[in-house]
Amino acid sequence: MRPHDPPVELGPTLDFLRELWALDHALQKRSKKMAKELGVTGPQRLALRLISRFPGLPAGRLARLLHLHPSTVSGIVKRLAGRGLIARGSDGPDRRRAMLRVTPLGLGLLSRPEPTLESAVHHALGLLNERQIESALRAIGVIAVCLASPAARPPQAP
């Protein structure tokens, strides 16, 4: 929207969709900028952050934490491992199960000060109170469930 355009109210559903698309666009734009500046995208850095928090994390669990398809996470893991940012080990008896850990190179990347998706979200959340954050998380979660399966009905609010 241009600064001189009058505000447009389309009703809650369309207004919410517009904001979601604005958020998606901003996430994609920042992710591309991170890829140029840091060499990793937003989802790759989030995966790296989760692996650093949970050393030995299996790839399947990482996919569930990221809410991404296992094949998408497989590509993320492959790129991170190819750059030496994570290492893959096997889970003893089940050699097919990859256990992931962050390498010193990966930890170095996580400590770099460049603006990231995380830093932008951290700043934005600092502008909200706890109740606003909880409400936003609930709304986003309910929308995600409904988008994933139109037949799915999330639990009703008390």
The per-residue pLDDT for 90 is 72
Whole-model pTM?
0.82
**Per residue in 102-141, pLDDT tens?**
999 999 999 988 889 999 999 999 999 999 999 999 999 9
Distances in whole angstroms, Cα of residue 101 to Cα of each of 39, 53, 77, 117, 124: 19, 9, 11, 22, 29
The dihedral sign for the CA sequence 111, 117, 120, 125: negative
Would you mind telling me the total number of residues written for the chain in this entry?
Answer: 158
Report the alpha-carbon distance of residue 112 to residue 114 in Å, rounded. Answer: 6
